[in-house]
A = this chain, B = another copy of it.
Amino acid sequence: MIKRVSLKDIANKVGVSSALVSYVLNEKFTGRINKNVAQKIRETAVELNYRTNQIARSLKTSRTNTIGLIVADISNPFSSSMARVIEDEAAKVNFTVIFGSTDENPTKSEKLVDTFLNRHVDGLIIAPRENTENVVQNLIKQEVPFVLVDRYFPSIHTNYVALDNFKATYEAVEFLSMSGFENIAMINYQTSLFNLNERTRGYLTALGNHTPNSGAMWLKEVDNANVEETVIQSIDELWTADQRPNAIIFASNEIALHGLKQIMKLGIKVPKELAVITFDQLASWDIFYSPLTYIKQPLQEMGQLATQILLDCIEGDKKIQQYLIPGSLVKRDSTKK
Protein backbone atom coordinates (compact mmCIF):
# COMPACT_ATOMS: atom_id res chain seq x y z
CA MET A 1 0.00 0.00 0.00
CA ILE A 2 0.95 3.56 -0.66
CA LYS A 3 2.41 5.66 2.17
CA ARG A 4 -0.37 7.31 4.07
CA VAL A 5 -0.66 10.95 5.07
CA SER A 6 -0.19 11.65 8.78
CA LEU A 7 -1.00 14.58 11.00
CA LYS A 8 2.65 15.53 10.79
CA ASP A 9 2.50 15.80 7.01
CA ILE A 10 -0.33 18.27 7.30
CA ALA A 11 1.47 20.10 10.09
CA ASN A 12 4.61 20.45 8.02
CA LYS A 13 2.77 21.67 4.99
CA VAL A 14 0.81 24.28 6.93
CA GLY A 15 3.74 25.16 9.15
CA VAL A 16 2.24 24.37 12.54
CA SER A 17 2.65 21.60 15.09
CA SER A 18 0.86 18.32 14.71
CA ALA A 19 -0.89 18.91 18.02
CA LEU A 20 -2.68 21.86 16.56
CA VAL A 21 -3.72 19.83 13.56
CA SER A 22 -5.11 17.20 15.87
CA TYR A 23 -7.06 19.79 17.83
CA VAL A 24 -8.52 21.29 14.69
CA LEU A 25 -9.53 18.03 13.06
CA ASN A 26 -11.08 16.78 16.27
CA GLU A 27 -12.78 20.10 16.88
CA LYS A 28 -11.30 20.65 20.30
CA PHE A 29 -10.60 24.12 21.72
CA THR A 30 -12.41 25.51 18.73
CA GLY A 31 -12.82 28.78 20.63
CA ARG A 32 -9.13 29.45 20.97
CA ILE A 33 -7.75 28.44 17.63
CA ASN A 34 -7.18 31.06 14.98
CA LYS A 35 -9.95 30.74 12.43
CA ASN A 36 -7.71 31.21 9.44
CA VAL A 37 -5.19 28.65 10.59
CA ALA A 38 -7.96 26.19 11.33
CA GLN A 39 -9.39 26.71 7.89
CA LYS A 40 -6.00 26.24 6.30
CA ILE A 41 -5.48 23.01 8.21
CA ARG A 42 -8.84 21.63 7.17
CA GLU A 43 -8.21 22.50 3.55
CA THR A 44 -4.81 20.89 3.57
CA ALA A 45 -6.24 17.75 5.16
CA VAL A 46 -8.71 17.42 2.33
CA GLU A 47 -6.10 18.30 -0.26
CA LEU A 48 -3.70 15.63 0.98
CA ASN A 49 -6.58 13.19 1.38
CA TYR A 50 -5.80 12.67 5.03
CA ARG A 51 -7.53 9.89 6.94
CA THR A 52 -7.03 9.25 10.63
CA ASN A 53 -5.05 6.22 11.49
CA GLN A 54 -7.52 4.46 13.72
CA ILE A 55 -4.85 2.11 14.93
CA ALA A 56 -2.72 4.89 16.34
CA ARG A 57 -5.74 6.59 17.80
CA SER A 58 -6.88 3.35 19.38
CA LEU A 59 -3.52 2.74 20.94
CA LYS A 60 -3.65 6.12 22.62
CA THR A 61 -7.28 6.23 23.57
CA SER A 62 -7.63 2.48 24.21
CA ARG A 63 -10.91 2.56 22.33
CA THR A 64 -11.26 0.75 19.04
CA ASN A 65 -14.89 1.51 18.23
CA THR A 66 -15.26 -2.12 17.38
CA ILE A 67 -17.78 -4.70 18.50
CA GLY A 68 -17.01 -8.39 18.34
CA LEU A 69 -19.93 -10.57 17.35
CA ILE A 70 -19.73 -14.25 18.17
CA VAL A 71 -22.40 -16.56 16.81
CA ALA A 72 -22.73 -20.26 16.16
CA ASP A 73 -22.60 -19.86 12.41
CA ILE A 74 -22.77 -16.62 10.50
CA SER A 75 -24.31 -18.42 7.54
CA ASN A 76 -27.38 -19.34 9.56
CA PRO A 77 -30.17 -16.95 8.58
CA PHE A 78 -30.94 -16.15 12.19
CA SER A 79 -27.32 -15.17 12.87
CA SER A 80 -26.82 -13.23 9.70
CA SER A 81 -30.04 -11.28 10.15
CA MET A 82 -28.99 -10.46 13.67
CA ALA A 83 -25.58 -9.47 12.37
CA ARG A 84 -27.19 -7.10 9.95
CA VAL A 85 -29.24 -5.37 12.62
CA ILE A 86 -26.22 -5.02 14.86
CA GLU A 87 -24.13 -3.72 12.01
CA ASP A 88 -26.63 -0.97 11.28
CA GLU A 89 -27.08 -0.06 14.90
CA ALA A 90 -23.33 0.06 15.48
CA ALA A 91 -22.72 2.12 12.37
CA LYS A 92 -24.92 4.87 13.77
CA VAL A 93 -22.29 5.55 16.40
CA ASN A 94 -19.31 4.82 14.19
CA PHE A 95 -18.66 1.35 15.44
CA THR A 96 -17.57 -1.52 13.22
CA VAL A 97 -18.40 -5.17 13.73
CA ILE A 98 -16.01 -8.08 13.50
CA PHE A 99 -17.52 -11.51 13.61
CA GLY A 100 -16.67 -15.12 14.20
CA SER A 101 -18.48 -18.44 14.12
CA THR A 102 -17.99 -20.99 16.86
CA ASP A 103 -19.67 -23.94 15.16
CA GLU A 104 -20.91 -24.80 18.62
CA ASN A 105 -17.35 -25.79 19.33
CA PRO A 106 -16.04 -24.84 22.78
CA THR A 107 -12.38 -24.50 21.79
CA LYS A 108 -13.31 -22.23 18.93
CA SER A 109 -15.41 -20.15 21.29
CA GLU A 110 -12.50 -19.52 23.59
CA LYS A 111 -10.16 -18.86 20.75
CA LEU A 112 -12.50 -16.32 19.21
CA VAL A 113 -12.91 -14.46 22.46
CA ASP A 114 -9.14 -14.46 22.79
CA THR A 115 -8.61 -13.14 19.30
CA PHE A 116 -11.17 -10.43 19.77
CA LEU A 117 -9.73 -9.36 23.10
CA ASN A 118 -6.26 -9.22 21.57
CA ARG A 119 -7.73 -6.87 19.04
CA HIS A 120 -9.11 -4.82 21.86
CA VAL A 121 -12.72 -4.82 20.79
CA ASP A 122 -14.62 -2.48 23.05
CA GLY A 123 -17.20 -5.12 23.75
CA LEU A 124 -18.74 -8.40 22.68
CA ILE A 125 -22.15 -9.61 21.63
CA ILE A 126 -22.33 -13.35 22.05
CA ALA A 127 -24.79 -16.09 21.31
CA PRO A 128 -23.08 -18.52 23.67
CA ARG A 129 -22.87 -22.19 22.88
CA GLU A 130 -23.53 -25.03 25.31
CA ASN A 131 -21.08 -25.43 28.18
CA THR A 132 -19.32 -22.13 27.80
CA GLU A 133 -20.19 -20.80 31.20
CA ASN A 134 -16.50 -20.59 31.97
CA VAL A 135 -15.86 -18.33 28.99
CA VAL A 136 -18.58 -16.02 30.21
CA GLN A 137 -17.26 -16.10 33.77
CA ASN A 138 -13.85 -15.12 32.47
CA LEU A 139 -15.26 -12.14 30.65
CA ILE A 140 -16.91 -10.99 33.85
CA LYS A 141 -13.66 -11.39 35.75
CA GLN A 142 -11.81 -9.37 33.14
CA GLU A 143 -14.53 -6.75 33.21
CA VAL A 144 -15.03 -6.98 29.47
CA PRO A 145 -18.32 -5.38 28.42
CA PHE A 146 -20.54 -7.96 26.79
CA VAL A 147 -24.15 -8.89 26.13
CA LEU A 148 -25.56 -12.34 25.50
CA VAL A 149 -28.20 -12.67 22.81
CA ASP A 150 -30.60 -15.42 21.99
CA ARG A 151 -29.15 -17.64 24.68
CA TYR A 152 -28.13 -17.05 28.27
CA PHE A 153 -27.29 -18.80 31.49
CA PRO A 154 -29.84 -18.23 34.24
CA SER A 155 -27.19 -19.02 36.85
CA ILE A 156 -24.90 -16.22 35.74
CA HIS A 157 -25.72 -12.59 36.32
CA THR A 158 -25.07 -10.96 32.95
CA ASN A 159 -26.61 -8.65 30.41
CA TYR A 160 -28.82 -10.56 28.02
CA VAL A 161 -31.49 -10.13 25.41
CA ALA A 162 -33.47 -13.17 24.38
CA LEU A 163 -36.80 -14.35 23.21
CA ASP A 164 -39.30 -15.29 25.88
CA ASN A 165 -39.14 -18.88 24.74
CA PHE A 166 -41.43 -20.27 27.38
CA LYS A 167 -44.18 -17.85 26.52
CA ALA A 168 -43.67 -18.29 22.79
CA THR A 169 -44.14 -22.04 22.77
CA TYR A 170 -46.81 -21.88 25.41
CA GLU A 171 -48.82 -19.60 23.19
CA ALA A 172 -48.15 -21.71 20.14
CA VAL A 173 -49.54 -24.78 21.87
CA GLU A 174 -52.45 -22.79 23.19
CA PHE A 175 -53.25 -21.57 19.71
CA LEU A 176 -53.13 -25.08 18.32
CA SER A 177 -55.44 -26.32 21.07
CA MET A 178 -57.87 -23.50 20.51
CA SER A 179 -57.84 -24.32 16.82
CA GLY A 180 -58.82 -27.86 17.59
CA PHE A 181 -55.52 -29.67 17.38
CA GLU A 182 -55.17 -31.72 20.52
CA ASN A 183 -52.38 -34.13 19.72
CA ILE A 184 -49.43 -31.81 19.59
CA ALA A 185 -45.90 -33.01 19.01
CA MET A 186 -42.67 -31.10 19.32
CA ILE A 187 -39.16 -31.72 18.11
CA ASN A 188 -36.37 -29.95 19.95
CA TYR A 189 -32.68 -30.48 20.52
CA GLN A 190 -31.33 -32.71 23.23
CA THR A 191 -29.43 -29.95 24.99
CA SER A 192 -28.57 -28.25 28.23
CA LEU A 193 -29.06 -24.79 26.75
CA PHE A 194 -31.51 -22.98 28.94
CA ASN A 195 -33.32 -21.09 26.21
CA LEU A 196 -34.04 -24.20 24.19
CA ASN A 197 -35.26 -26.06 27.22
CA GLU A 198 -37.58 -23.19 27.92
CA ARG A 199 -39.24 -24.02 24.63
CA THR A 200 -39.80 -27.54 25.81
CA ARG A 201 -41.02 -26.32 29.18
CA GLY A 202 -43.49 -23.96 27.53
CA TYR A 203 -44.73 -26.81 25.40
CA LEU A 204 -45.12 -29.23 28.29
CA THR A 205 -46.71 -26.70 30.59
CA ALA A 206 -49.27 -25.70 28.00
CA LEU A 207 -50.00 -29.34 27.28
CA GLY A 208 -50.55 -29.94 30.96
CA ASN A 209 -53.05 -27.16 31.03
CA HIS A 210 -54.94 -28.05 27.93
CA THR A 211 -54.71 -31.76 27.48
CA PRO A 212 -54.14 -33.24 30.92
CA ASN A 213 -52.01 -36.34 31.28
CA SER A 214 -50.89 -36.27 27.71
CA GLY A 215 -47.42 -36.89 29.01
CA ALA A 216 -44.50 -36.37 26.74
CA MET A 217 -45.15 -39.13 24.26
CA TRP A 218 -45.00 -36.65 21.40
CA LEU A 219 -41.86 -34.87 22.51
CA LYS A 220 -38.80 -35.80 20.55
CA GLU A 221 -35.31 -34.58 21.28
CA VAL A 222 -32.75 -34.80 18.51
CA ASP A 223 -29.01 -35.07 18.49
CA ASN A 224 -27.18 -31.82 17.84
CA ALA A 225 -24.35 -33.61 16.12
CA ASN A 226 -26.64 -35.49 13.81
CA VAL A 227 -29.68 -33.35 13.30
CA GLU A 228 -30.86 -34.46 9.89
CA GLU A 229 -30.90 -38.15 10.64
CA THR A 230 -32.48 -37.89 14.06
CA VAL A 231 -35.17 -35.50 12.85
CA ILE A 232 -36.11 -37.89 10.08
CA GLN A 233 -36.23 -40.71 12.57
CA SER A 234 -38.37 -38.66 14.96
CA ILE A 235 -40.92 -37.87 12.27
CA ASP A 236 -41.05 -41.51 11.25
CA GLU A 237 -41.60 -42.58 14.84
CA LEU A 238 -44.30 -40.03 15.42
CA TRP A 239 -46.08 -41.05 12.26
CA THR A 240 -45.99 -44.76 12.92
CA ALA A 241 -46.94 -44.43 16.58
CA ASP A 242 -50.16 -45.92 17.88
CA GLN A 243 -51.60 -42.52 18.24
CA ARG A 244 -50.41 -40.04 15.68
CA PRO A 245 -50.08 -36.35 16.49
CA ASN A 246 -52.16 -33.98 14.39
CA ALA A 247 -49.91 -30.99 14.97
CA ILE A 248 -46.20 -30.43 15.39
CA ILE A 249 -43.96 -27.65 16.58
CA PHE A 250 -40.41 -27.48 15.31
CA ALA A 251 -38.18 -25.79 17.85
CA SER A 252 -35.73 -24.32 15.35
CA ASN A 253 -35.51 -23.44 11.70
CA GLU A 254 -32.90 -26.12 11.16
CA ILE A 255 -35.10 -28.83 12.63
CA ALA A 256 -38.05 -27.53 10.63
CA LEU A 257 -36.23 -27.71 7.31
CA HIS A 258 -35.31 -31.33 7.84
CA GLY A 259 -38.69 -32.14 9.28
CA LEU A 260 -40.60 -30.59 6.39
CA LYS A 261 -38.58 -32.55 3.89
CA GLN A 262 -39.49 -35.75 5.63
CA ILE A 263 -43.13 -34.68 5.83
CA MET A 264 -43.08 -34.16 2.08
CA LYS A 265 -41.42 -37.48 1.55
CA LEU A 266 -44.00 -39.34 3.60
CA GLY A 267 -46.74 -37.49 1.76
CA ILE A 268 -48.23 -36.14 4.97
CA LYS A 269 -50.84 -33.48 4.22
CA VAL A 270 -50.31 -30.14 5.93
CA PRO A 271 -52.46 -28.98 7.67
CA LYS A 272 -55.15 -31.59 7.02
CA GLU A 273 -53.24 -34.44 8.61
CA LEU A 274 -50.64 -32.45 10.47
CA ALA A 275 -50.60 -28.80 11.44
CA VAL A 276 -47.14 -27.23 11.57
CA ILE A 277 -45.64 -24.39 13.55
CA THR A 278 -42.00 -23.47 13.27
CA PHE A 279 -39.54 -20.98 14.70
CA ASP A 280 -38.00 -17.92 13.05
CA GLN A 281 -38.97 -15.96 10.01
CA LEU A 282 -37.50 -17.55 6.90
CA ALA A 283 -38.23 -16.89 3.26
CA SER A 284 -38.58 -20.65 2.97
CA TRP A 285 -41.75 -20.70 5.02
CA ASP A 286 -43.51 -18.76 2.26
CA ILE A 287 -42.86 -21.23 -0.47
CA PHE A 288 -43.88 -24.37 1.33
CA TYR A 289 -47.12 -25.48 -0.31
CA SER A 290 -48.99 -24.64 2.83
CA PRO A 291 -47.37 -21.39 3.99
CA LEU A 292 -46.16 -22.00 7.49
CA THR A 293 -47.34 -20.54 10.74
CA TYR A 294 -44.23 -19.45 12.61
CA ILE A 295 -43.05 -17.91 15.82
CA LYS A 296 -41.40 -14.71 14.79
CA GLN A 297 -38.48 -13.61 16.85
CA PRO A 298 -38.24 -9.83 17.13
CA LEU A 299 -34.79 -9.80 15.59
CA GLN A 300 -34.74 -6.11 14.95
CA GLU A 301 -35.65 -5.26 18.50
CA MET A 302 -33.32 -7.85 19.99
CA GLY A 303 -30.36 -6.74 17.91
CA GLN A 304 -30.91 -3.09 18.58
CA LEU A 305 -31.41 -3.61 22.28
CA ALA A 306 -28.34 -5.79 22.57
CA THR A 307 -26.22 -3.22 20.79
CA GLN A 308 -27.62 -0.42 22.90
CA ILE A 309 -26.96 -2.26 26.12
CA LEU A 310 -23.45 -3.05 25.00
CA LEU A 311 -22.77 0.58 24.16
CA ASP A 312 -24.08 1.63 27.58
CA CYS A 313 -21.82 -0.91 29.14
CA ILE A 314 -18.84 0.31 27.15
CA GLU A 315 -19.60 3.82 28.35
CA GLY A 316 -19.11 2.51 31.85
CA ASP A 317 -22.66 1.76 32.86
CA LYS A 318 -22.44 -0.94 35.52
CA LYS A 319 -26.12 -1.73 35.62
CA ILE A 320 -26.93 -5.25 34.41
CA GLN A 321 -29.77 -5.30 31.91
CA GLN A 322 -31.82 -8.39 31.15
CA TYR A 323 -34.61 -8.58 28.64
CA LEU A 324 -36.94 -11.38 27.63
CA ILE A 325 -38.78 -10.20 24.58
CA PRO A 326 -42.07 -11.71 23.52
CA GLY A 327 -42.26 -13.35 20.12
CA SER A 328 -45.27 -13.18 17.91
CA LEU A 329 -47.17 -15.99 16.31
CA VAL A 330 -47.69 -15.37 12.61
CA LYS A 331 -50.70 -17.46 11.68
CA ARG A 332 -50.98 -18.85 8.20
CA ASP A 333 -52.19 -21.87 6.27
CA SER A 334 -50.23 -24.61 7.99
CA THR A 335 -52.41 -24.39 11.09
CA LYS A 336 -55.80 -23.90 9.44
CA LYS A 337 -58.26 -26.50 10.63
Q: Other CB < 8 Å A-B pairs besides A74-B83, A87-B100, 6 of them?
A: A52-B118, A55-B119, A66-B119, A257-B283, A257-B287, A288-B289
Instruction: Report how far A286 CA is from B120 CA in the complex, Å.
Output: 42
Given known pairs A98-B98, A120-B55, A261-B287, the reply for A144 and B74 (CB within 8 Å) is no
Q: Which of A67-102 contact B (CB under 8 A)?
A: 73-77, 79-81, 83-84, 87-88, 91, 94, 96-101
Binds B, one of A56-64, A150-158, A169-177: A56-64
Cβ of A28 < 8 Å from any Cβ of B? Answer: no
Q: Which of B59, B115, B145, B287 contacts A55 (CB 8 A)?
A: B59
Given known pairs A1-B144, A287-B260, A287-B284, the reply for A51 and B100 (CB within 8 Å) is no
Instruction: Report how far A120 CA is from B57 CA in the complex, Å.
Output: 12
Instruction: Report how far A79 CA is from B99 CA in the complex, Å.
Output: 14
- Let me know if B73 and A84 touch, CB within 8 A: yes
Q: Which of B75, B81, B142, B284 contacts A81 (CB 8 A)?
A: B75
Cβ of A236 < 8 Å from any Cβ of B? Answer: no
Q: Which of B1, B142, B260, B284 contacts A1 (CB 8 A)?
A: B142
Contacts of A54 in B (CB 8 A): 118-120
Cβ of A53 < 8 Å from any Cβ of B? Answer: yes
Contacts of A283 in B (CB 8 A): 257, 282, 284
Q: Which residue of B lies closest to A142 (CB)?
A: B2
Distance between A135 CB and nearest chain B CB, rounded to angstroms: 14
Contacts of A64 in B (CB 8 A): 55
Q: Which of B56, B76, B116, B118 contacts A53 (CB 8 A)?
A: B118
- Let me know if B289 and A264 touch, CB within 8 A: yes
Instruction: Report how far A95 CA is from B33 CA in the complex, Å.
Output: 42
